[in-house]
Amino acid sequence: MKTKIKILIPGIITVFLIIISGYLISQKEIEPPPAILKIDGKEQISGIGSYCWTDTWNALCADMGEVPTAQEPLIAGSPFTALLRLPLNEPPYELRFDVIRVDPENQINLSARGWRWWDIWHLQTKNFTLTLEPEQDIELSLEPGLYVLSIGAWWTEKGSASYGFLVEVQSNGTDAAPAITVSPVNQTPPSNASTFPTIIAIQPDAGTTGTKVVITGAGFTARDNNVAFRLAPEDSPGTSKVGYINKLVSSDGRTIEFVIPEFLGACAFPLPKTTPITVCPLSGLKFKPGTQTYPVFVVNKNGSSNCVNFTLSR
Q: CA 168: distance to chain centroid?
A: 22
Residue 4: is its pLDDT beyond 80?
no
Residue range 24-53, pLDDT digits in tens:
444 446 789 999 999 999 999 999 998 888
CA–CA distance, 150 with 126 (Å, rounded to integer): 10
CA–CA distance, 148 with 25 (Å, rounded to integer): 33
Residue 98: is its pLDDT beyond 50?
yes
Please report, for residues 48, 251, 285, the alpha-carbon distance to residue 257 in angstroms, rounded to integers and kept in the order given.
Answer: 33, 10, 20
Cβ atoms of 98 and 84 closer than 8 Å: no
Residue range 59-78, pLDDT digits in tens:
788 877 789 999 999 999 98
Residue 256: is its pLDDT beyond 90?
yes
Mean pLDDT value of segment 256-267: 89
DSSP per residue, 232-260: S-TT-SSS--EEEEEEE--SSSSEEEEE-
What's the pLDDT at 234? 56
Domain range summary for the chain, segments of one domain joined by +:
36-189, 194-313
Helix (H, G, I), strand (E, B) or coil at 311: strand
Label residue 237 by pLDDT band (50, 70, 90): low
Above pLDDT 70, what percent of the chain?
76
For 295, the enclosing helix (H) or strand (E) is strand 291-300
CA–CA distance, 267 with 38 (Å, rounded to integer): 33
Label residue 188 by pLDDT band (50, 70, 90): very low
Label residue 85 by pLDDT band (50, 70, 90): very high
What's the pLDDT at 177? 40
What's the pLDDT at 267? 81
Mean pLDDT over all residues of the chain? 80
Residue 257: is its pLDDT beyond 90?
yes
Residue 224: is its pLDDT beyond 80?
yes
Residue 166: is its pLDDT beyond 90?
yes
State if pTM tops 0.85.
Answer: no
The reply to whether CATH 2.60.40.10 applies to domain 194-313 is yes
| Least trusted range by pLDDT, from 30-34, 273-277, 288-292 | 273-277
- In the chain the first and final C-alpha atoms are separated, in Å, by 61
**β strands within 119-178, DSSP E:** 125-129, 135-141, 145-155, 159-169
Please report, for residues 94, 202, 220, the alpha-carbon distance to residue 223 in angstroms, rounded to integers and kept in the order given.
Answer: 19, 19, 8
Above pLDDT 90, what percent of the chain?
39
Which CATH number is associated with domain 36-189?
2.60.40.10
What's the pLDDT at 283? 54
Mean pLDDT value of segment 201-208: 94
| Cα angle 264-240-91, degrees, rounded to a multiple of 5 | 95
What's the pLDDT at 214? 95
Helix (H, G, I), strand (E, B) or coil at 57: coil
| Least trusted range by pLDDT, from 31-45, 113-127, 155-169, 277-291 | 277-291
| Cα angle 243-245-250, degrees, rounded to a multiple of 5 | 140
Cβ density class 241-280: b for 16+ within 10 Å, e for less? bbbbbbebebeeeeebebebeeebbbbbeebbebeeebeb
What's the pLDDT at 21? 44
Residue range 293-312, pLDDT digits in tens:
999 999 888 888 888 999 99
Same fold, 36-189 and 194-313: yes
Mean pLDDT value of segment 114-141: 86
